[in-house]
C-alpha cells in the first residue's frame, strides 16, 4: 500500500517528459514569429541541406544530411505515433513494452517475407560469386535480430505482468 502511494505521489510531481516536450514545441512555435530567429534557422537549413559545390551540384554531405534527417523523422513519426496512442491508455512502462513488441514483431514478419519472396531486383546470376542464399543474408540477419528483440520484449511483458499481479 505504501509502495502504491509513493508511486502515485512520484507520478504526480513535476512535469512529465511529454509535457516538457510540449513546452519546448510551444517555445519553438513562438520563436518562428521572430524574423531574426526564422532567418537564422533558414540559414542553417540552407547550409546543411542545400549546399552546392562549384559545379552547382548538391554536395554529398547535403545529400547524406537529408537522408539522415528523413530516416530519423520517419522512425520517430512511425514509432512515436504508435507509442503515443498506447501511452495514453497503458502508461509509460507498459506502453513502451507493447510498442516494442509490436514493432519488432512487425519487423520479424516483414523481414521473413523479404527472405522468402525477395529480392526481385538484383539477380544472383548477374553477380559473380553470389548464390540465392548469399544475397538474402542481410534480410536473414534483420529477421534474426528482430525475432530476438521481439522475444525480449515479450519476456519483459510477461515479467511486468507477473510483477503487477503481486
CA dist., res. 133 & res. 85, Å (int): 39
The residues, ordered by sequence, that sit 6+ positions from 142 with a Cβ below 8 Å of its Cβ are 107, 111, 114
CA dist., res. 77 & res. 84, Å (int): 10
CA dist., res. 166 & res. 161, Å (int): 9
What is the rounded end-to-end Cα distance, in angstroms, of the chain?
A: 12
Q: What is the pLDDT of residues 9-22, one digit of tens each?
A: 555 567 777 788 88
pLDDT at 116 (0 to 100)? 83
Q: Are 150 and 101 in contact (CB under 8 A)?
A: yes
∠ CA 114-115-116, rounded to 5°:
90
3-state secondary structure (DSSP) of residue 82: helix
pLDDT at 126 (0 to 100)? 64
Q: What is the pLDDT of residues 96-122, one digit of tens each?
A: 999 999 999 999 999 898 888 866 655
Retrieve residue 81's grid coordinates: 505515433
pLDDT at 99 (0 to 100)? 94
Query: 104: exposed, middle or buried (C-beta count within 10 Å: 0-12, 13-18, 19+)?
Result: buried
pLDDT beneath 50: ranges in the chain? none
pLDDT at 97 (0 to 100)? 93
pTM over 0.75: no
Amino acid at each position: 500500500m505504501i509502495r502504491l502511494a509513493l508511486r502515485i505521489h512520484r507520478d504526480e510531481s513535476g512535469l512529465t517528459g511529454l509535457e516538457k516536450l510540449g513546452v519546448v514545441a510551444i517555445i519553438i512555435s513562438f520563436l518562428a514569429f521572430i524574423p531574426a530567429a526564422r532567418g537564422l534557422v533558414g540559414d542553417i537549413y540552407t547550409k546543411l541541406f542545400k549546399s552546392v559545390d562549384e559545379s552547382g551540384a548538391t554536395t554529398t554531405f547535403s545529400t547524406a544530411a537529408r537522408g539522415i534527417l528523413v530516416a530519423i523523422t520517419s522512425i520517430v513519426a512511425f514509432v512515436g505515433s504508435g507509442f503515443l496512442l498506447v501511452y495514453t491508455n497503458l502508461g509509460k512502462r507498459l506502453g513502451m513494452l507493447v510498442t516494442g513488441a509490436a514493432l519488432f514483431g512487425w519487423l520479424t514478419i516483414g523481414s521473413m517475407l523479404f527472405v522468402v519472396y525477395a529480392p526481385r531486383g538484383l539477380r544472383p546470376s548477374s553477380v559473380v560469386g553470389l548464390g540465392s542464399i548469399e544475397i538474402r543474408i542481410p534480410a536473414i540477419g534483420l529477421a534474426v535480430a528482430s525475432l530476438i528483440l521481439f522475444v525480449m520484449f515479450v519476456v519483459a511483458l510477461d515479467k511486468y505482468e507477473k510483477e503487477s499481479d503481486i
